[in-house]
Every structure is written in structure tokens, then in C-alpha cells.
A and B are shown apart, each in its own frame.
Chain A
Amino acid sequence: MKIGVCAKVAPDPNARLKVASDGTGIVMDGIKTKLADYDEYAIEEAIRTKEAHGGEIVVLTVGDTGAEKLVRGGALALGVDKALLITESPTDPLGTAKLLAAGAKREGCDVLFTGKSTTDEQNFQVGVMIAELLGWAHVTQVTELSFEGDTFVATRNLDAGVRQKVQGKLPAVITCEDGLNTVRYAKLPAIMKAKKKPFEKVSAADLEAAAGEGRLAVGNMAPPPPRPAGKIIDGDAATAAKELVRLLREEAKVL
């Protein structure tokens, strides 16, 4: 099996972020970055798949975000065999998908794992777009997965707690949901070994691909408008409860 896994470098979800003065992005100076949370599940699943079925894993990433250190530590050190960095910075999810699809094609992947979304823009688009560009099947928000030859069975999370068991055939893109697995952490010997694993950088042109641009623009970023200060209701439990119900009925009119 040639297993591909996409990884994106994203700001640490616990970081306190500030919007850049032009409103088109966030200030990254001094912000800690990591491989996006759901991509970690994708990396872990790729490794488990290789452990169970053999093959080789390549991690694919785009941009020029200081990814090398994180990808070596967070993917190569865990069991991924090589990395491919496409050195163009796309301006939208479709651009990202075009580059990653070209990378997956060049590497001869027959399955591709991605996170269901990344913790920054949370678009939930790239994985599925890659499937379309490659002409593959896709399944999103997967919490259970098993392979048999080139067939797979997956459980996916729909809305309202509904889950579905589905069956599909490779090649396919699988987007990973919380609960699919528990990620492992790298041990020092593996981190040292990872320094020798291949980390290849290519341009979009090298892959005969182009992200394209001008399809969408981001702007006006701002924290959500703060709510007006709320009322703290005083008194003992019974008094406060009575007053709350009165306010919800008469003032807020939601009861």
C-alpha cells in the first residue's frame, strides 16, 4: 500500500490569537504552532494501517511555514517514511487541494488520510476536494476503520449523534474524526532517526500543478462582538431561581 497523509501546520489551539492590522489573517509572531489536531489522528491512522497491512507512508504538506521541524518530529519520528513539502502557499482550500492531489499522484498513493478539518480555518473542504481532483471515493468524519485488500469498512459521524457504517473501495480519501485512534508520541531515539529520513521539497511547477488564485478573499477578521454584560442574580438558591424564571419569561421571553 502506498499511504499518503496530509498534515498542516496550525497555531496551537490554546494560543491567544490577535488579528493582523489589515484584518486578513492573524499575527503569528510568538505564536506556538503544531501539526493540526485532526491531522495527528490521520498520521496515527496511516501508521496503524502500515503496521497492519505493510506499505510505505508519505506525509504531504504545502507552504513555507517552518514545517520541516514539526513534520520530522510529528510524522517522520512516529513511523512515517518520507515527507514531501510543496513550497507554494495557496490562497484558498481548492488551491491547497490541487497541490496535495498532485503530490499524492506523484507519490503513487492509493489511500490518503487527512484530518476532517484543521483547527484554524475549519473549512472541512480540502480532503474532499482532493478526492474529487483525483477521481477517488471519499468518506468523512471517520471514527472506525478497517481494510481488507482494497476494500475498507468505516464508521462515520453524521449529525445529531447518528453514525453510519459504510463500505468502499480504494483508492479513497479518508478524513479523520476525534475518537478514531489515540495518537502516539515520539521517543528520543525515533526523533534522532527521523533526521535521516527523506524530506523532499518540490515546487508546484515540479509537479506540473498550480494552486490558482483569485477565487476567494479573507478579510474583516475580528473577535465576535462581545455580548452586553449580563445580569448576576443575587440571593439564595430559591430566590435566585424564582427571579431567573421571571426574567426568562418576562424580559428575555424565551420561556
Chain B
Amino acid sequence: MSGILVVAEHAGGAFSPTASELLGKATELAAVLGTSVSAAVLGDIDAAPLGGLGAAKVYQAAGDFSTYDAGATIDALEAILRASEADMVLAPAAYAYRDALPRLTARFDGAMASDAMGLRVESGHLVARRPTFAGSIEADLTLTARPAFVTVRGNSFPKVANNGGSAEVVAVSFDKKTPSVTVMETLAPDTKGIDLGTADKVVAGGRSLGSQEKFDALIRNLGEVMGAGVGASRAATDAGYAPHAEQIGQTGQTVSPSLYLAVGISGAIQHLAGMRTSKVIVAINKDPDAPIFEHASYGIVNDLFEVVPALADELRS
């Protein structure tokens, strides 16, 4: 009984980029382990194309999984895991799997690594590298129990191209037995623009902006010019300059864009926890000793009230 099962997320009729990232990585790991890769799909979508991303077989549970229901997700995944005979499971580090996978881990007496940013095989076991202590320390978790479950942060692995292949899709039925809560209402976020979780570019402002008006005029405006998601430090959201949903940091969102512009943000550990894996970090801050500069690829030590408008002008031209 062996194999890697990848939970392939989808929305609006298309698979998420995470499906490609995880199937690509799983293919690489399976080659080392001498085992196979299959995909788990919850809900209705044409899943055969996952074969083109590396899945040898797809196990699919029909139904509407678009609103997260713990019982349905957990029991469907349990049925799929048993049908696939896989002993390792990779899933995106999204709310649903953060919520569901620990129950499966306990149900099977397995082991779980959350929020992995790196994965490799050592002596036949999965080793997940993950952040601890607000990202200030990284650790390897070697999962010796089976099944081994790993949730993986987005943008951790390259996306593989679909080579046009097609996988056999096996329909899996399940009984919903896990006690769960019922969803009464879903409240749309308070954010005003591009979704931070998937944005390729993010511009974030700190408390030095001074007011919501100035935050909107400078940060939100720059975001629009750049086509970037807009975020804020906790100090800025606590002060009311931006909605809580836009907070980036240990107690807010974690983002990993290609470009992160930190404007008037000092770079405290709790903020870094939410963005330190961004590919290119730019810091604009009046204080040359701000810790953010230790993490930035490019820095401008100057007054943000002059630099940000100049930047917006330059980008518009």
C-alpha cells in the first residue's frame, strides 16, 4: 500500500495553480520513492486532464463542495484515501485542509506537517520543511507514520505545464458520518480589490500613512497603478486605515507574491511572518535602521509621501 495522493483544488470550473504545483512535486517525490501519484478531486469538474499534470489516476467524489463542510470533506477524503491505497497525502494549505486533515491524521493514527514550504524524501519518508515561531525558525519534520499528511503553502513549488495527458477517473462514494457544523451564511470579505492570497504583486502600507484617506490616496492608488493587491500592517488596520481582511502578518494573511512593496512598515517579526517568503521585497521607509531593510532586495530610505507619488508617476509613464 503506497502512493502519493494530491488533493487537487478547483473553483469556477478550473483547477487552481496549486494542483499543478503539488502534482509536479509529487511526481518528483514519487520517482525517488518508486511509487505512483494519484489525485483526489472533491466536487464536479472534468478531472481527466489532471493526467496531463502527472496524476496516474484520479479519485473523485461527486457533489457540491463549494461551501466548506467539514464532515463532507473529511469523509470524502477518507473514502478516497482508502480507495487509492496511497500512504502520503499532499494538500494546499487552505482553510479547508487545515481544518480537515488533522481529523484524518487522528483517524488513521498518522502524522501531519502543516504549512510546508519544502518537501523531500529521506530514507523512504517525507520530510517537510516548515516555519515555526512566526517564521523566525525553520524546521524539518520527518513523517515516519503512515499515512503521512502534508499541507503545502502556495507558490512553494514550480507549476508544471499540462502535457495534454488524460487520467482514468474513478468515482468514489462516501457516507457522511463526521459530526460537523452547518453553514448559515458566508460573509464576503471586506477587501476592496485584488485577492491578496493569489496576487502576484502586493503593496502594503504601515501606520505612518496616518489616516485612511492618505492610505487610500497613496497605497491603494499605487496598487491600482501596479495591478497589485493591497495589504496593511497590523498597526495600520488597528488604526482603521485599512480593513482587517487586508492585514498581512502573523495574525492576518500570509502572502508570497513575486513582488512585495513594504511602504512605511518597520518589519517587526509578526509582520515578516506574513510575507517573508515573497520573491522580491522592496522597502520604502524614512528610518534607515528599520529591520525591513535586512529582508529587502531593494530599499529607498526616504519619505514615503514623496516616494510613493513619484513611483506612481513613473509607473504610469
Interface residues of chain A, those whose CB is within 8 Å of chain B, are 11, 13-14, 17, 19, 26, 92-94, 97, 119-129, 131-133, 135-141, 153-155, 157-169, 172, 178-179, 212, 214-224, 226-227, 230-233, 236-238, 240-242, 244-245, 247-248, 252, 254-255
Residues of A near B307 (CB, < 8 A) are 237, 240-241
Contact B111 A215 (CB under 8 A): yes
Contact with A122, one of B132, B140, B269 (Cβ below 8 angstroms): B132
Is there a chain A Cβ closer than 8 Å to B235's Cβ?
no
- Interface pair B186/A162, CB less than 8 Å apart: yes
Query: Within 8 Å CB of B145, what residues of A?
Result: 214-216
| Chain A residues with CB under 8 A of B301 | 232
Number of A-B contacts (CB under 8 A): 251
In the complex, chain A residues whose CB is within 8 Å of the CB of B296: 227, 230
Q: Assess whether B34 is interfacial by the CB under 8 Å rule.
A: no
Residue B21, interface by CB 8 Å: no
A163 to B132, CA, bound (A): 26
Establish whether residues A255 and B314, one from each chain, have CB atoms under 8 Å apart when the complex forms. no
A123: B residues at CB distance < 8 A: 112, 114
B133 to chain A, nearest CB (A): 6
A93 touches B112 (CB 8 A): yes
Chain A residues within 8 Å of B245, by CB: 160-161
Q: List 30 A-B contacts (CB under 8 A).
A: A14-B269, A19-B137, A26-B137, A123-B114, A124-B102, A125-B105, A128-B106, A140-B99, A153-B184, A158-B68, A161-B189, A162-B188, A163-B187, A165-B184, A165-B187, A168-B180, A172-B179, A215-B109, A215-B111, A215-B144, A218-B140, A221-B137, A222-B138, A227-B297, A236-B306, A241-B300, A241-B307, A248-B298, A254-B258, A255-B315
Question: Which of B56-64, B161-169, B191-199, B213-221 touches A?
Answer: B191-199
Cβ 8 A contact of B299, one of A129, A158, A230: A230
Cross-chain contact A216 with B298 (CB below 8 angstroms): no
Residues of chain B at interface, number, CB under 8 A: 89
- B residues sitting closer than 8 Å to A (CB atoms) are 67-68, 70, 94-95, 98-99, 102-103, 105-107, 109-115, 129, 131-145, 178-191, 195-197, 201, 226, 243-246, 251, 253, 258-259, 269-270, 276, 279-283, 293-303, 306-307, 309-311, 313-315
Let me know if B102 and A132 touch, CB within 8 A: yes
Q: How far apart sit A163 and B189, CA to CA, in the bound complex (Å)?
A: 7
- In the A-B complex, the 6 residue pairs with the smallest Cβ-Cβ separation, listed nearest first, are A161-B245, A161-B189, A215-B145, A168-B181, A241-B310, A237-B306
Residue of A nearest to B146 (CB): A215
Q: Is the CB of B184 within 8 A of A17?
A: no
- Complex contacts, B314 vs chain A, CB 8 Å: 238, 241-242, 244-245
Q: Quick check: B106 and A129 within 8 Å, CB to CB?
A: yes
B-chain residues with CB within 8 Å of residue A236 when the two chains form the complex: 302, 306
Residues of A within 8 A of B226 (CB): 255
Given A132-B107, A162-B186, A167-B182, A221 and B253 contact (CB-CB distance below 8 Å): no
A94 pairs with B105, CB closer than 8 A: yes
Bound form: Cα–Cα A135–B313 in Å: 59
CA distance A128 to B102 in the complex (A): 6
Q: In the assembled complex, which residues on chain B have CB atoms less than 8 Å from the CB atom of A167?
A: 181-182, 184
Closest to A179 in B: B244
| Shortest Cβ gap from A169 to chain B (Å) | 8
- Assess whether B138 is in contact with A132, with CB atoms less than 8 Å apart: no
A233 in complex: contacting residue of B109, B111, B140, B298, CB < 8 Å: B298
- Distance of A99 Cα from B241 Cα, bound (Å): 44
**Contacts A232-B300, A244-B300 known; A164 to B186 CB distance under 8 Å?**
yes
A162 to B132, CA, bound (A): 25
CB distance from B227 to the nearest CB of A (A): 10
Q: Roughly how many angstroms separate A124 CA and B250 CA in the complex, as a whole number?
A: 13
Q: Which residues of A contact B95 (CB under 8 A)?
A: 141, 157-159
User: Cβ of B253 and Cβ of A244 under 8 Å apart?
Assistant: no
A219 close to B142 (CB less than 8 A): yes
Q: Is the CB of A140 within 8 A of B298?
A: no
> In the complex where A131-B103, A215-B143, A237-B303 touch, is A254 in contact with B201 (Cβ < 8 A)?
yes
Inter-chain contact A168/B182, CB cutoff 8 Å: yes
Given the complex, which residues of A lie within 8 Å of B115, measured CB to CB? 122
Known: A122-B132, A160-B195, A218-B141. A94 touches B111 (CB 8 A): yes
With contact pairs A132-B106, A137-B180, A167-B181 given, residues A223 and B142 touching in the complex (Cβ less than 8 Å):
no
Chain A nearest Cβ from B212, distance in angstroms: 17
The answer for the CA separation of A191 and B198 in the assembled complex, in Å, is 47
* A-chain residues with CB within 8 Å of residue B109 when the two chains form the complex: 94, 212, 215
Contacts of A254 in B (CB 8 A): 201, 258-259, 279-280
